[in-house]
Amino acid sequence: MSRTPFIAGNWKMFKTMAETKEFAEAFKKQERTSAVKTAFCVPFTDLMTAKEAFAGTDIGVGAQNVHFEDEGAFTGEVSLPMLKEIGVDYCVIGHSERRQYFNETDETCNLKLKKLLQESDITPILCVGENLEEREAGKAEDVVSSEIKADFAGIPEDLAEKVVIAYEPIWAIGTGKTAGPEQAEEMCGFIRRTFASLYSSAAADKLIIQYGGSMKPENAAALLAEADIDGGLVGGASLQPDKFAAILNAVK
């Protein structure tokens, strides 16, 4: 099964509108392979600027969160109709920073996935991954499989197979520590088998699985060469046009 590699940047809470424009101009000048799908998941305030700056290119734009209600008294939240009007292509769901600092739970991830899948063409990028304590206790697989089962609860196969799953071991995010290629492959393979057990091996064969956690030009080629790693979700290194282009070009 050949899956088109997909590498996305997750800017987290970085870059103003002016910085987004400047980045886009510089990134469009980079030499990069056309064999890789790419996108930037930017702060809400940068979405429109990014859409305009990347118009007419193959570069997608994603949000980093969405609320599961259409509207209401939810101060500080952003709804799916708002994202649809901007024309965003992707939406990150369940990033570990949101799970850790903003009370995101598997239950809300599930509601958000359903909302996106049932009511839009926006591709969800669902993040899963264990923390250091869980890894050291030998519970990495249990944690990740329970996240996947809960996050996909009640979602039928024809919708589930549209989701991109990002395996992001929490201990490797922003720490400079990367899961070794074999370690990352082991977990991404496990994610594919878990997905196959929930749905079918045909659906699992199509599933795009990204690795995220200190991915950079120096380690990208080895990670991306693994059979079950179809791309990356890149934090820090996606903030610099040349570094991010180098990661894209690391795909064989």
Active site residues: 95, 168
- Dump strand ranges (E) for the chain: 6-10, 37-41, 59-63, 90-93, 123-128, 164-167, 208-211, 231-234
10 Å CB burial of residue 227 (0-12, 13-18, 19+) is: exposed
Give the number of other Cβ atoms within 10 Å of residue 4's Cβ. Answer: 11
> Whose Cβ is closer to ligand 13P: residue 194's or residue 238's?
238
The CB-of-25 to ligand 13P minimum distance in angstroms stands at 23
Name the residues that contact ligand 13P, by CB under 6 A: 10, 95, 168, 173-174, 212-215, 233-237
> Whose Cβ is closer to ligand 13P: residue 20's or residue 214's?
214
- Could you give phi then psi for residue 183, rounded to 5 degrees? -65, -45
> Whose Cβ is closer to ligand 13P: residue 127's or residue 199's?
127
Which residue's beta carbon is nearest to the bound ligand 13P? 235
The CB-of-213 to ligand 13P minimum distance in angstroms stands at 5
DSSP letters along 226-248, please? STT--EEEESGGGSSHHHHHHHH
The CB-of-95 to ligand 13P minimum distance in angstroms stands at 6
**What's the distance, CA 139 to chain centroid?**
23
